[in-house]
Amino acid sequence: MNLFGTDGIRGVANDDLTPEMAFKLGLALGLYVVPRGKVGVAKDTRTSGDMLEAAVVAGLCASGCRAVTFGVLTTPGLSYLIRELGLDGGVMISASHNPGEFNGLKVFGPTGRKIDDSMEEKISSFILSDGKCAGRPTGNRVGRVIRAEGEVSRYVEFLTGVPHVSFSGLKVMVDCANGATGQVARHVWENLGAHVKTLNSDGDGEMINCRCGSTHPETLAAEVKHESFDVGFAHDGDGDRCIAVNPTGGVEDGDRIIGVMAKDMKERGRLNGNTVVGTVMSNLGLELYLTSLGVRLVRTAVGDRYVLDEMDRGGYSLGGEQSGHIIFRDIAPAGDGIMTSLLLAEVLVRRGTTLEALTAGIPSIPQVLLNVPVTDKRQAMESPALKRELGKARTQFAGRGRVFVRPSGTEPVIRVMVEAPEVETAHEWARRIAEVIRSAETEENVGEKIG
């Protein structure tokens, strides 16, 4: 059994995700993946981060590894420092966009990329075992902890060097989601000459992602419009997402940012293969827009690791997700919310225009997304009633829309996505499909009780 979802191991801290599990993960990583190596450890601002950090570090040291701790840092920041400092791997303690009571463990290899399935399965097997193993070092052969919070400045310097224009006079507002970007974003924008205002940047771990950040950009949108800022950017708790806001308060999601960047990169000869990698959730409007530019959209399963795998296979330079995970593969092997905001702002400045003008030609097919809580995701997906309803929906749309249903890789929900020519139709079909999922689970639960 693989405990890793699409973005690491996740769960409610000290319930689904315990310090014992974190210790075993650190121990397994050191014994079987990077023996006696140097492993970076970082966390976002969640209250449980200290607890899980201590457990991971203890496990690494018990294996004989040296644990290099960076404190609060973004996930892409850890990925960068793994490469920059020549570390053998890394562990990020974060549940990304999830609420504060959740936490997670993401594991990276020496290239700053997430480890592959075989390594995940090996670590999962050890976590699920009794934890007994031969070969653990003893006495003075255990590992040590290297405190390296000061190295975060290297990441700030790296980001400051990404854009090739001055942002002097640009008014930028950034919603840090009470997460890890609050440690970095202001410094980077100020270094580049922008007038920057940050929201939710105090690092209140209990309020991380709570009515703020990339999953709740409404407050940022209102503030950008009210205070007449040029652009706004919303990140998530661990800083790998970016959602943009235009001066009129309009929200531009990851698909629309990708559309802007694809056009700019193509015109400058930097869009490898004239291809963009998206996912099955990418809006049909993005695909239509890219086609009009002579650009192909390749779709993958949901998850930035699958996007990156496809980018590697084709040598493509741009890919990402509607949620705001956007990868510029020629610069870094991971989605980086701050980097995305800098590159988008560079396009604004270089072209002397507004974000609203840049996205005006990108259509958005009405899309409705629903999260349906379930107790058994696999059982819900295998429901005959659900399959019948999906068949009806696909017949109804017949090329004029899309229906996609999938189990979340990070939460106990089934995600329902419907695109249709009219928003009312999309809402109606999403509601119908969600109701079938709920009814099927209720019937199954009743059957179990009777049996």
Choose among 417, 371, 365, 409: nearest CA to 390. Answer: 417
| C-alpha dihedral (433, 438, 443, 444), degrees to nearest 10 | 100
Separation between Cα atoms, residue 385 and residue 350, nearest integer Å: 53
Helix runs in 130-253, H state only: 152-160, 185-191, 218-226
Which listed residue (63, 96, 201, 323) is catalytic? Answer: 96
Please list the residues that pair with 8 across neighbouring strands.
Answer: 5, 6
Indicate the helix (H) or strand (E) that contains 382: none
Q: How far is CA 14 from CA 48, 61, 132, 157, 206, in A?
A: 8, 21, 22, 36, 15
d(CA 25, CA 19): 10
In 66-205, alpha helices (H): 75-84, 117-128, 152-160, 185-191
Please give the backbone phi and psi of residue 112, each rounded to the nearest 5 degrees, phi first: 80, 10
Most distant pair of Cα atoms in the chain: their distance: 70
79 is catalytic: no
Print burial letters for 138-163: b (CB count within 10 Å at least 16), e (below 16). eeeeebeeeebeebbeebbebbeebb
H helices present in 100-247, as ranges: 117-128, 152-160, 185-191, 218-226
Question: Could you tell me the sign of the dihedral formed by the alpha carbons of 189, 325, 99, 214, in that order?
Answer: positive
On whether the CB atoms of residues 42 and 152 are closer than 8 A, the answer is no
Q: What positions carry a catalytic annotation?
A: 96
